[in-house]
Structure 1
Amino acid sequence: MGLFDRLRPGRRSRADGQAADLKYLREWTAQRTGVEAFIEPKTTVTELTVVLVASDGEWTRRRVGGEAGARRLSGVLQTPVYDVQKVGYPQRMRDFDARRRIERRRELREELEEG
């Protein structure tokens, strides 16, 4: 954070962003069953992230402050944690995405037929 960043309106510090992400992930996990965490590696475009996947395949992704942050998050949320490079993404996540694509296409087709 720069010297004058605190004085700019509407700017959040990294700690504020992490606290908001943790709150979101806690709420997301509490509202779903069978949640597991999958650590995604850092790339040239993104920081290390964690993907939480529920038993129905619904998922969410957030930055968590590196691998140590992901492991701590897993402890806080009481979820198992896996390395996506070793185990891959769960099939239920891919199935969920496929269902969502079908639903979006169906909605679009219905909108086009109405208008």
Structure 2
Amino acid sequence: MGLWGRRRRRTPGRATLDRGAERADVAHLEQFVASRRGVEGYVEPRTAVTETTIVLVAADGEWTRRRIDGPETARRLSRELGIPVYDAQVTGYPQRMRDWKK
């Protein structure tokens, strides 16, 4: 196997060095929404290093980030979970996320 043999293109266009979303990622997001109040979603774009991700932020500022199979999937999942979703590049992140401490 050559140096770049493991790095396959998942979709036309640029490849990333990251894995895609798995069922465990979606299950974690579902559990996060079910166990917290006031959750909002923030979609982060695909980069050269990571696939598309979604950050969920609860009313108290607690947050979690997981991979997702593209912005359309993030929006569909948000509709199914009944939470608002925003484009992180456009809106930025809420202050409560930056203020949150474990």
Report the TM-score range of the alignment, normalised by the length of the smaller protein: 0.7 to 0.9
Gapped regions of structure 2 (runs ≥ 5): 1-19
Work out the CA distance in 2 between the residues paired with 1:80 and 1:52. 10
Work out the CA distance in 1 between the residues paired with 2:25 and 2:58. 17
Give 3-state SS (helix, strand or coil) of 1:38's partner: strand
Work out the CA distance in 1 between the residues paired with 2:49 and 2:31. 27
The structure, 1 or 2, with the larger RCO (C-alpha pairs under 8 Å, 6+ apart) is 2
Aligned to 1:54: 58
Work out the CA distance in 2 between the residues paired with 1:63 and 1:76. 17
Choose the corresponding residue for 1:38, options 29, 39, 42.
42
Structure with greater proportional helix content: 1
TM-score by length of structure 1 reads: 0.68
Runs of 4+ in 1 over 4 A off after TM superposition: none
Q: Specify the code of the residue in structure 2 equivalent to 1:42.
A: R
- Bigger CA radius of gyration: 1
RMSD between superposed Cα atoms in Å: 1.7
Aligned length: 84
Q: Is 2:63 the partner of 1:64?
A: no
Q: Kindly, what percent of the aligned residue pairs are identical?
A: 57
Work out the CA distance in 1 between the residues paired with 2:29 and 2:46. 20
Work out the CA distance in 2 between the residues paired with 1:48 and 1:33. 24
Work out the CA distance in 1 between the residues paired with 2:81 and 2:93. 19
